[in-house]
Structure formats: structure tokens, C-alpha cells
Chains A and B, each alone.
Chain A
């Protein structure tokens, strides 16, 4: 079958899911465009009245605080009233939900519906071989999903620029990092291929959809809980930054006799000392001997810090007693390396899942052929 014909077959078979998902994607894109335009207009106003400066976010001028209060949507995490959820978080959540739905309703039925309805007996005995048939279908739809993911990610990144400029959030942080163009493309393909594999294994639509949903939610949960920190904690740089200690007292480790490394994952910026645009991964204290304080040294640090009183006095106490506060960080210039690396890693895993699904189809096809040879002349057995 010619490639154009194959595209038409894929369209006929999956047009309902494609149209549904396309409508949801178009709705999300419209929201993102509107948000991006509105955010840019509000940010331009902040710049014009001198209440924000590029790279430094909102200035601390008194009247600016009240001007900013009039722009809660951009500045005050108010997209879901009363929930404390920011608009950038909602965007990231919506994108991930859309990808999971694509895996469930586009990926999972791809093979399982053929098996369940028995149409594979017809479809896989045509001029196009079963491996080519499945590979082309998964390839065409996977390509569409990847492109849609990359486009959505690029649009989200564009729409969230004003939020990042104001220092309310950052493209490094959990949620927004996954909805960057490269990672979004990777996640889109991965969720789709996970659905395809589940369908090829289970051969029934509803269980495949359920397995895809459960598997993807578990994967995303694990990613947000642990994998994100492992990924972005890869070989960070270290720098002493006593001024940043005012935001993180040593008692934060909640261990009375040890002051260890604390994961932070915050952005260095206008309100947080550290290298500009960097992701602060973790922080730790070093004692006068150049080692992490433990035992009596840790108790002395915690007690001295608590008794020093105000924030700036605490930092002064730290310096005068030869303690130092270090931060581990990823420099701003590494962002795209992490984006591309994560996206490439996700795409490789997705391709492996797709290859696994095609391999299953191929193996089953061989089994059907051999069974057919054994039962030639008799009624074929149901598979």
C-alpha cells in the first residue's frame, strides 16, 4: 500500500480520537495565546511605570507593590481562586493531562482494537506486511503526536515568558520544565507509545486504556516525586553564598545533631541571591573546619543562628563565626542542554516501547502462521 493510502487508512481508523484530541489541543492553544498576549501587555505596563526591570522582576518600590496587586493574574498566583495554584502550574498540568489522554485514547486502541474486533485477520493479510502496517500506523500517529507536543511546548514557553520575567516562576522549575518544547515532544511520544505497547500486550481496548492511564500516572508521579530532582541534580556547580542563607536556616533539616544537604530547587533571581538565572538545586553548610557541621558544631550553628535574631544578623553571625553557606546550582546556560537531553532520552524510551509493541505483533504473527500451517484444511482456530 502506498504511503498516502496508509495515511488515509490511519485517518479513517482514528479520526474520532484525532478530532477530539485536536479540539482539546486547539482550545489549550487558544488559552495560551490569550494568556501570552495578556501577560506581555501587563508586563510591558510594569516596565513602563518603572515597577519592573528586565531580568530583575518586580522592583521593591512601595507603590509598585500596590500596582502589582492590581494584576493578580500575572503576579499573584490567582488563576484558580482560593486554590493557591498559579497559572503556569495549571498550564503544565493541562499539557500533561492532554498527553496522558493521547496515550489512553489514541495509543492504547491502536493495536488492541484490531485484536479485539478481529480486524487484524483482514488488515494484516494484505499487500502490506503486519510489521510495516503497525510500524507505519505507530510512526504516522507518533509523528503527529510528537509535533503537536513540541508545538504545544513552544507555545507554552512563549506564553509563560512574562511570568518568568517577573520572577514568579521559571522554566527550570518542576512543571514548567516538562512543558518546554523538547521535553513536551518527548513526553507526548512516550505517552503515546506506552499506550501502543499496552494495547499490543493486552489485546483488549478497555484494559489497555486502564493500564495506560495507571502506568502513566504512576510514571509521572515518580517523575515529579524523584526523577526530576535526580535529573536536574546531575553534576551541579557549587558556590559559597552566605547571603542566600537568610532564606534557609540550618534548623530546616529537622535533625538536631546534623546539618546536611537540603534539596531546594528554587531560582536565583531578584529576590533570591545566587548566580543569575540559575537553578539552585540544593544547599549545605560548612563549618570552620571546611566540613559539614555535625554533633557539637551542628548544635552550635543551629543555636547561634536562632539566637542571632533577625535575618541580616543571622547572616552576619554566620560569617563572623567562619561558617559558610554553599549552594549547588545548575547555571542558566545549561537549560537547553537539559531540555534537549531529557527530550532525547524520552524519545529513545518511547521508540523502545514502540519497537517492543511491533516485536510483539511480529512474534504473534509468526505464531498465527505456524498454527495456520498445522491446521491447513481445517477450520482456523480463533486467536
Chain B
């Protein structure tokens, strides 16, 4: 005998789970923004690809010349070899655009249109609905950021075989922020900033404006903090030869080197040279007006006076680790902001 509940049960078992249903709702609500953003980011990726295509077609010797800025710098490098153009755009544009057009309207539009009254009083709780939408948007954002970062990174790593060129340019702030990991983290942070702004402002345009302002500020701050990050756990060693001590000399005797150790340096090719300083025969750091005089002396002259030049540096192999640290920190910050946005939603409804 077939029970009366049989067909209902069969229908119920065919119904998608709550996750599937909420995914469908999220897609219906955010598809325009998602498709528009995908098209925009796709266009940006294509732009990066085409600007780098010409550089990849040039010889390794030519790239070496242009990228490592050997002296004399060929005049045509800037126009014939523009590897940084695309990668310069990606770190600023992608996270801010994702935050403005996907993150900010995500909750602000619900509040502004008043649809929260309906949407958040259904069977699935408001927290579950909001969290599901946030997770789906975050996954799409991570994928988009990583993909864009991969293209940007490809644009910076030309086909030279003899030198770690990717590392040579990769340590600088702009390309460092355009790796798949860091750009994915940055994009997630942009999304979280937008969502929090939307939850706080509850109006779309002010939320977008706030996201743009915060996105630009975070971008500028990340560049300010870049040399701090590269100073984390830096190694110290006595420079034997090959490191030219030019750079900014501060009154406390530290010289900002801020460059990559090239093939001409003894020791650590591809490493990031952070700071340098001189120590006298007593082993103490030399400070004040003597430092510029010492900077003009050769290593032989310095050795004759029992003066040593020391450098702090990040070994080339730590590059990936530092990229992961930055990406991890941005993801952590994004999670905190996302949790704050969910907390705001919960508190308001309570």
C-alpha cells in the first residue's frame, strides 16, 4: 500500500537542500554585479596579458637589460618593455572594484530597498542567509583575485633563464601585491570592507563611496608598510663585496638599501637588501656625519681602517613565505570585518 505521504516525501527528497536553495537566491540577487564584475576583471586580465605579450617576445638579454636596470639603462625600455603597466593596475583596481560593486550593495541594497523585512523573516534565519551569501561571494572573489594575480604575475616573469628576474622585480611593493595569493587576499579584504560599509551605512551609494575611500587608504597603507614586512626576521651579515652602499642615510647610521641583490653582488642573488650600516673597530655602529664620507670609500679602504659594512637582507627563498604571511594577514582581517558585518546584522534585528 502506498501511503498518502509517499509522493510528498518523494517530492521533498527531490527538493534541493537549504544550501542549494540559498545559493540559488544569492545568485538571483547578485548575478548582475557578479557578471559585470567578471566582465570587468576579465577585461583587466586581457589588458595585462596584451601589455605583457610584447615583453615576453623579446630576447632574454634584452629583458635582463631592461628589468635589472643595468647601467646605462637603454632609453627604449620604458616604451618597448612595459611589464609593470598591467601589474600596477591590478592591486588597486581589483579589490576596490570588488568591494564597491559586489561587497557594498550586498547588504546595503536589502536595507535601502526594505527587502530585509521580507527576506530575513523566512524559514532560513537571517544569519544563515547572510553568511551563505557572504561565503559564496568570498569564494568567487578568492577565485577571481587568484586568477587575476596569476595573469599579473605571468606578466612580470619574462622568459629569461640566467637570472631570477621574477624575484628581482617581485620584491617591490607593486608586484608583491599582485601575486595570486596576495591579490586573492586583497580582493577578499576589499569585499569585506564593502560588506561592512553596506551593513553600517545601509545605503548603497554612501557605502560604495566609503568602500572606495577605505580601499584607496588600505592600498596606500599597504605600500607604506611594505618595507616593514620585508624587515620581518631579516638576516644580518657582513658585506664582503659587491653591495654598493648607496641609499638614504639616516642620522642613526642606517642606510636604506631597498633593492635586490643582483648578479654582481657577492652572496645572495635575488635577495632583498633592506638596510646597511658601518661598524668601527670596536664593533659599534657608526652614526652621524661620518657615514656619508664612508659611503664614498671602497671596501679596501674600509678594511684598512678596520671598518665593516653590514647589511640586513631577506634571502630569496623567503619570498614565498612573506607573500603567504601578507596574504594570511589580509584574509584574517577580512574575516574579522565579515564577522563584524554579520554581528551588525544580528544586533539590528535583535
Contact = CB atoms under 8 A, between A and B. Distances in A.
Interface residues of A, number: 51
A362 B138 CA distance: 43
Contacts of A214: 40, 43
A82 B172 contact: yes
A248 B59 contact: no
Contacts of A290: none
A101 B36 CA distance: 19
Interface of B is mostly: helix
Contact of B249 (A69, A82, A206, A264): A69
A264 B97 contact: no
B34 to A, nearest CB: 12
Contact of B58 (A101, A246, A254): A254
B175 to A, nearest CB: 9
B265 to A, nearest CB: 18
Contact of B80 (A83, A210, A249, A262): A262
Nearest to B219: A97
Interface stretch (A45-53, A73-81, A235-243, A365-373): A73-81
B258 to A, nearest CB: 5
B139 interface: no
Given A97-B216, A254-B80, A265-B78, A210 B101 contact: yes
Interface string A242-262: 000011110011100000001
A24 B204 contact: no
Interface in B217-270: 223-224, 226-227, 230, 246-249, 256, 258
Contacts of A81: 173, 223-224, 226-227, 256, 258
Which of B75, B78, B206 has the largest count of A CB atoms less than 10 A from its CB? B75
A62 B292 CA distance: 11
Contacts of A70: 248-249, 292
A12 to B, nearest CB: 16
Contacts of B132: none
B174 A254 contact: no
Interface string B72-85: 11111011100001
A105 B256 contact: no
Nearest to B204: A206
B108 to A, nearest CB: 10
Interface in B30-56: 36, 40, 43, 47, 51
B296 A266 contact: no
A223 to B, nearest CB: 13
Given A70-B292, A221-B89, A252 B248 contact: no
A20 B76 contact: no
Interface stretch (B1-9, B207-215, B300-308): B207-215
B171 interface: yes
Interface string B268-304: 0000000000000000000000001101100000000
A206 B296 CA distance: 58
Interface of B: 36, 40, 43, 47, 51, 58-59, 62, 72-76, 78-80, 85, 89, 93, 97, 100-101, 105, 171-174, 204-206, 208-209, 212-213, 216, 223-224, 226-227, 230, 246-249, 256, 258, 292-293, 295-296
Interface of A: 16-17, 20, 24, 62-63, 65-67, 69-70, 72, 76, 78, 80-85, 97, 101, 104-105, 109, 205-206, 209-210, 213-214, 217-218, 221, 224-225, 229, 246-249, 252-254, 262-266, 283, 311
